[in-house]
Amino acid sequence: MEYLRLRSGGKMPIVGYGTYLTTGLELEIALNKALEAGYRSIDTASGYGNERSIGKVLNEWISSGKVTRDELFVTTRLPIYGNRAKDVEKYIKESLKQFQLDYIDMYSIHTPFGVFQGDTTDYTKMQRDDSTDHLKIWKAMEDQVDKGLIRAIGLSNFNVRQIQKILDHCRIRPDNVQNEIHLYLQTPELIQFCQKNEITVTGYSSLGMKDGRKLLGFSWANEKLPEMLENDVVVEVAKKHRKTPAQVLLRFFVQNGVSVIPKSTNPQRLMENIRIFDFELDPGDVRALRSQDAGEGGRIVRFLFFPGITEHPEYPFPIQF
């Protein structure tokens, strides 16, 4: 396994295990398989509703001596409906309770905008909170680092302008930015900006989130884009290296210093997704893969299920492109 060094002094595995849209027994079985395959970085969020299942498995592995706590890297995020400074400590402590852990390795703001939860768990019924204040939320997270409840802090779904605002006013700098990054949304400017500022970058939806798109009704803005795993360029590069298309897609970003968090509940694919360190893409491969970037036309996740969210003052993505 390769690692990314954090400014805070820790190190983060460059390949992690994503857990979005997986809960309960299915997740427990898959996470056990992932740990057996060698994954040590686990990515989730308070809003995923699966921290308890993750904590159960991790504690079983720790108590049995299969791993130590220091070998694990656990990432979770402040819920979108908790995007207020006064709520930060409450949700961190709730996550720790669910995990049954003493600290969280990486805690991030899930989105730059906030909503009011009210008495519903249905995102489509949550109302916009236009008072979102990144700097106050960030300071509250810095305070939790001081208390030892979290080791590093980061941002998710933020654009360059929003990240720069944090950098201009923070006491503790962001250690990570996690955004949607994949073949059709390569975000080179964001990656370069973060790496220049010594912020590690994690890409989510690296393989296209096919099942999630079907379940949630997400789609690329450019509906003519083929599935990433079936993209002709990806398939040809995979044949050349005798690898799977998924391994090529993951290697493409890892080779550029971007961490990935692929999700699978299939044991064979779990193994394949982490076995990407025994080959290297050559400059021709990289050029061919870069040519597939569709920019904003390739974005999958726009959070449009939140009513009127594009009118939030901190909505991070272009509305027209």
Note the pLDDT tens digit of each residue in 177-207. Answer: 999 999 999 999 999 999 999 999 999 999 9
Mean pLDDT to the nearest integer, 81-106: 99
Q: Is residue 320 predicted with pLDDT exceeding 80? A: no
Q: Does residue 213 or residue 68 have the better pLDDT?
A: 68
Contacts of 55 (CB under 8 A, 6+ apart): 98, 99, 100, 101
Contacts of 53 (CB under 8 A, 6+ apart): 23, 24, 25, 27, 28, 31
Contact 229, 245 (CB under 8 A): yes
Q: So where are the chain's domains?
A: 3-311
The per-residue pLDDT for 220 is 60
The per-residue pLDDT for 6 is 98
**Per CATH, which fold does 3-311 belong to?**
TIM Barrel (3.20.20)
154 vs 77, 78, 172, 268, CA distance in Å? 9, 10, 10, 31
Active-site hit among 48, 91, 107, 204: 48
Tell me the pLDDT band of 161, cut-offs 50, 70 and 90: very high
Mean pLDDT to the nearest integer, 146-172: 99
State the residue for tokens 């299942």.
Answer: 53
Mean pLDDT to the nearest integer, 25-52: 98
> Is residue 48 flagged as an active site residue?
yes
Q: How far apart are CA 218 and CA 270, in angstroms?
A: 24
Mean pLDDT to the nearest integer, 272-297: 98
State the residue for tokens 């309770």.
Answer: 97
At 23 the three-state DSSP class reads: coil
- Is 312 annotated to bind a ligand? Reply is no
The pTM score is 0.96
Q: Is residue 23 predicted with pLDDT exceeding 70? A: yes
Using a pLDDT cut of 70, give the percent of the chain over it: 96
The per-residue pLDDT for 224 is 81
**10 Å Cβ neighbour count for 81?**
23
Of the ranges 102-111, 142-151, 223-232, 258-267, which one carries the lowest mean pLDDT score? 223-232
Q: How far apart are CA 114 and CA 26, in angstroms?
A: 30
Q: What is the mean pLDDT of the chain?
A: 96
